[in-house]
Structure 1
Amino acid sequence: MSRIGNKPVQIPAGVEVAVNGTHVAVKGPKGTLENDFYSKLTISVEDNVLTVSRPDDERETRAMHGLTRALIHNMVVGVSEGFQKQLELAGVGYRVALKGNTLDLSLGYSHPVTYDAPEGITFEVPDNTHINVKGISKQQVGQVAAEIRSKRPPEPYKGKGIHYVGEHIRRKLGKAAK
């Protein structure tokens, strides 16, 4: 039994949801998101409440029930509030600068690393060691943050690199620990 799939999705004021079979389009103050979902599920909107129901209890249908409800909820939250991931640079000389829609990263390499913002993503650089990745698609925000982090992942000895704010880096003692 899918407990997540059975929860209704509340649609806030200012957000419009259009359902055409299994195609869902969500329009809000921050933008528009569209997606096609599993064909066996029934998606309906009544009185600013969206519900997802399934016809049977097959394994695949149960799995898609909860997934579909979660994805639609993320679409509604994205167009109304948006999503954000925060990254932090740790290391001597590691810094970031924002030039237009491009991040200029100094990560200890012999060359500067640049990263262009894809469509629908904006960057904020409050200071030279923090990056805020913002957008309306939760998947896209997470993917872009992961790609930036992969430019210099944190290493376990000194913790240098790019990591998420609040992420715990497991540290090793090194060769001094005999």
Structure 2
Amino acid sequence: MSRIGRKPIVIPTGVDVKIDGSTITVKGPKGTLSNTFHPDMIIGIENGELTVARPSEDKMHKSLHGLTRTLIANMVEGVVNEFKKELEVNGVGYRAAKQGKDLVMNLGYSHQVIVPEIDGITIDVPAPNKIVIHGPDKQKVGQFAAEVREKRPPEPYKGKGIKYVDEHIIRKEGKAGKAKK
């Protein structure tokens, strides 16, 4: 049995879960998420807990068991406490600002980089060098943060660019550090 798959998911107060066949809708204080899972997975609610079971010991069912449980747990977690990713903008003259629903960044290009906010995602810019992306859907938050980081990934020589707050950039020495013969 999958160790993760067999753990029940506790449904917190204020969260409403509806199961319609293989589609699950989770409604909470931070939003509503809906997802369709593999029809073979057995999803049920009993005593305020969601359980996921698998019909057989097939390799496919084994792999879907833990995945389904984790995706549902992330949905429940997201509608209660939003997921967030923090990005840091490093470099002389590099900065970010919020104009309406758009994220406007100066990243050393000859033009400003403008990224519009998408549905289900909220962008905050508490400081000119800090961007906070949050929302109830973990996958959307991570994907959007990766797309923002992609606009100017950090480079290894000076560390300039957009990086995650907890990311460590491995630095290189450059031409001066080269050994002479």
Query: Normalising by the residue count of structure 2, what TM-score does the alignment of the two structures yield?
Result: 0.96
**1:170 aligned onto 2:170:** yes
Uncovered stretches (5+) of structure 1, i.e. residues with no partner: none
1:30-41 to 2 correspondences below 5 Å = 30-41=30-41
| Aligned match of 1:86 | 86
Aligned length: 178
Superimposed CA distance per residue, residues 102-128 of structure 1 (whole angstroms, 9 cap, x where no aligned partner): 011000000000000001111111110
Shift of 1:174: 1.0
| Preserved CA contact (<8 Å) 1:95 1:105 | yes
Shift of 1:166: 1.3
Secondary structure, counterpart of 1:126 in structure 2? strand
Q: Distance in 2 between matches of 1:17 and 1:46?
A: 12
| Aligned match of 2:156 | 156
| Aligned match of 1:57 | 57
Secondary structure, counterpart of 1:96 in structure 2? strand
Superimposed CA distance per residue, residues 74-133 of structure 1 (whole angstroms, 9 cap, x where no aligned partner): 000111111100000000000001011101100000000000000111111111000000
Secondary structure, counterpart of 2:26 in structure 1? strand
Secondary structure, counterpart of 1:166 in structure 2? coil
| Aligned match of 1:44 | 44
Instruction: Letter of the 2:66 partner, please give it.
Output: G
Q: Distance in 2 between matches of 1:19 and 1:101?
A: 34
Query: Normalising by the residue count of structure 1, what TM-score does the alignment of the two structures yield?
Result: 0.98
Uncovered stretches (5+) of structure 2, i.e. residues with no partner: none
Q: CA RMSD in A?
A: 0.7
| Aligned match of 2:102 | 102
| Preserved CA contact (<8 Å) 1:21 1:42 | no
Q: Distance in 1 between matches of 2:3 and 2:172?
A: 40
Instruction: Letter of the 2:143 partner, please give it.
Output: Q
Q: Distance in 1 between matches of 2:101 and 2:138?
A: 19
Aligned structure 1 segments of 4 or more residues deviating by more than 6 angstroms: none
| Preserved CA contact (<8 Å) 1:156 1:172 | yes
